[in-house]
Structure 1
Amino acid sequence: MTDLTLSSASPSSSTRAGVLLMLLSIMMFALNDVLGKWLVSTYSAPQLILIRSVAAVAVLLPFFWRSGWRKLVSVERPLLQALRALLCAVEATAFYYVVGHMPLADTITYWLAAPIYVAALSPLMLGEKVGWRRWTAILVGFAGVVVALEPSAASFTLPALVALAGSFAFTFTMIFARSLRGTPDTTLAFWQMAVAVVFSVVAIGIDPTGWIPVRPVDFGLLALLGVVAMSAHMLVNRSLKLADAATIVPLNYTMLVWGILLGWLFFGDVPRGAMLVGAVLIVASGLFIFFREQKLKQADRR
């Protein structure tokens, strides 16, 4: 019934629905990050990733039960799939480690720089041509990262370095996703979560002292992380089917607003001036790169 209603709606109604779904998904991601930051103060990042990923896999299994298991095992470029899933596990673990040591807005700022890294690496890894305008925006984005980092002997802490490594891991997952466009979203998500389970089990096995007995209430909250994240991803996919990417994708940057607001509300984090300036440069360059790519794609279609 819902699909019929949406498909028969006017373009403007469809776009509005897409925008609302995207904004809802961003709010869910932000609240998920707050919950993760709170939980990681008690439990280790691998422990959090393990329970979160098991819950997400449990949510995905009914989809394959209904559509058939062939979609799960017959995948294109399995080695690249495995590498992407491994990087996703590294990136997620890095994120939860960093958010446990840094303000939420700072952590989000590092991850928002990933599209800039993608643009910089696309000529080398994807064979895409990048003109001087986008190279200028890339340099501005790099400058924003440097400003937000505030380079000094004191600023190069382990969490800051892990944040940079995690954002680069996220960058490569985005690049590999472009090369795996033929793989259904549910299949990508399933293997991403399944590999995260294995990765976290190995990490816990290396350092079993990091395992802390989970209270029943916290177990439910840890599982909720996976369910909410999967639901938010599905909302993003649905929003992209209802509205153009040019309308939807820039809304991702509202995540920073949520990070600042929720970080202050729940944890008393006050944004640093350097972080705000760096964030503005990163968001501005990211938006320019995105809209420039959209313009070039439209020109190629003519």
Structure 2
Amino acid sequence: MSAFPRLGALAPTGATGGIIMMLLGVLLFAVNDTLGKWLVGAYTVGQLMLVRSIAGLCTMAPSIIRAGPYAFLRPPRPGLQLLRVAFSTLEGSLFFWALTELPLAEVMTYYMAGPIYVTALSPFLLGEQVGWRRWTAVAIGFGGVILALHPSPGSLSLGAVCALVGSFSYALFLVATRKLAGTPGTVLMTAQLLAALIFGGTLVVIQGWTPPGLLDLTLMLLLGIGSLSGNLCVNQSLRIAPASVVVPYQYTLILWGMLFGYVFFDEVIGPMTMTGAAVIVGAGLFIFLREQQLRRRGQRRGRES
């Protein structure tokens, strides 16, 4: 995210600095999602995605220019690149559609299950081994999703389906991103934004355009800038502090979702959803910490050999 080249120099360093940057990034994501829920009540999903992607591309323009045209002409593994942007566009649009029917914190809860899905998919798509401890955590995490869904004959709404499919698409997006780890971030993000631009523009042609006022147009533009800024803070956090220290703080997103949902939309999630969120967070934290433990063990063995 070198579109903001000076933030890295201004950011605090060390574990404390990493935690601050992670918390700031998560807060920016929460504010961004709240803006999205506010706007999706008056404008179509396509319109939001179109304006957001335009703002993101304009913000990234300096990085795109520095990368030069050759970085984009022959991207590595083009088929996988295409799948990645398809999953990214799908999860982003479904997130907005889910917000039209579900409380903010509930949609965030479903998406926080994404890393659990990644663990379940990794033996099949990434060739990674998953031991019984993590499989147990995956099963418990799925149980948390079912609790959050609180299934009943009338509870499986269109919004819940959008959130579930969107969170699974998010997991597939994470898997594809992991497999493209050697690709420059500017190339990956530019491809995401261009795909969202095309998809949003297509939806606008189908659904029509609602002329926004100056304030609403500004908020739509902030959706793109806020998303990039949040990613920048999270990336900076991971650069200056160990992942095991800062990643657990990403789950504060659900707390922000509960607070902003209550303050701005008078939303209070039920006890089943709250319990499911707690189970998902617990399972996700266990999986992450277990992976960190195994990684450190592997590094020690490598040094000893």
| Secondary structure of 2:282's aligned partner | helix
TM-score normalised according to structure 1 size: 0.94
Which stretch shifts more, 73-82 or 109-118? 73-82
Q: Is 1:140 equivalent to 2:140 in the alignment?
A: yes
Q: Which residue of 2 aligns with 1:252?
A: 250
- Note the aligned Cα RMSD (angstroms): 1.6
Q: Which residue of 1 aligns with 2:284?
A: 286
For 2:62, the aligned partner's letter is P
Inter-partner Cα distance in structure 1 for 2:135 and 2:196: 34
Which stretch shifts more, 163-172 or 63-72? 63-72
Instruction: Check conservation: 1:145, 1:278, Cα contact below 8 A.
Output: yes
Percent identical: 41
Inter-partner Cα distance in structure 2 for 1:62 and 1:247: 32
For 1:297, the aligned partner's letter is R
Deviation (angstroms), 1:5: 8.0
Q: 1:115 to 1:2 in 2, by over 3 A?
A: closer
Q: 1:294 to 1:32 in 2, by over 3 A?
A: same
**CA deviation digits over 1:66-95, x for unaligned, max 9?**
343332334211111111111111111110
Inter-partner Cα distance in structure 1 for 2:10 and 2:113: 37
**CA deviation digits over 1:88-130, x for unaligned, max 9?**
1111111011112110110000000111111111111111111
Q: Which residue of 1 aligns with 2:121?
A: 121
Q: Which residue of 2 aligns with 1:61?
A: 61
Instruction: Check conservation: 1:111, 1:170, Cα contact below 8 A.
Output: yes
Where in structure 1 are there 5+ consecutive unaligned residues? none
Q: Which residue of 1 aligns with 2:240?
A: 242
Deviation (angstroms), 1:202: 2.0
Instruction: Check conservation: 2:67, 2:186, Cα contact below 8 A.
Output: no
Deviation (angstroms), 1:169: 0.6
Q: Number of matched residues? A: 295
TM-score normalised according to structure 2 size: 0.93
**CA deviation digits over 1:212-258, x for unaligned, max 9?**
22223211110111011111111111111101111121111010010
Instruction: Check conservation: 2:8, 2:236, Cα contact below 8 A.
Output: no
Inter-partner Cα distance in structure 2 for 1:46 and 1:121: 30
Q: Which residue of 1 aligns with 2:73?
A: 73
Where in structure 2 are there 5+ consecutive unaligned residues? 1-5, 301-305
For 1:91, the aligned partner's letter is E
Q: Which residue of 2 aligns with 1:208?
A: 207
Inter-partner Cα distance in structure 2 for 1:144 and 1:267: 25
Inter-partner Cα distance in structure 1 for 2:269 and 2:102: 11
Instruction: Check conservation: 1:64, 1:72, Cα contact below 8 A.
Output: no
For 1:208, the aligned partner's letter is Q
Deviation (angstroms), 1:203: 2.4
Q: 1:255 to 1:2 in 2, by over 3 A?
A: closer
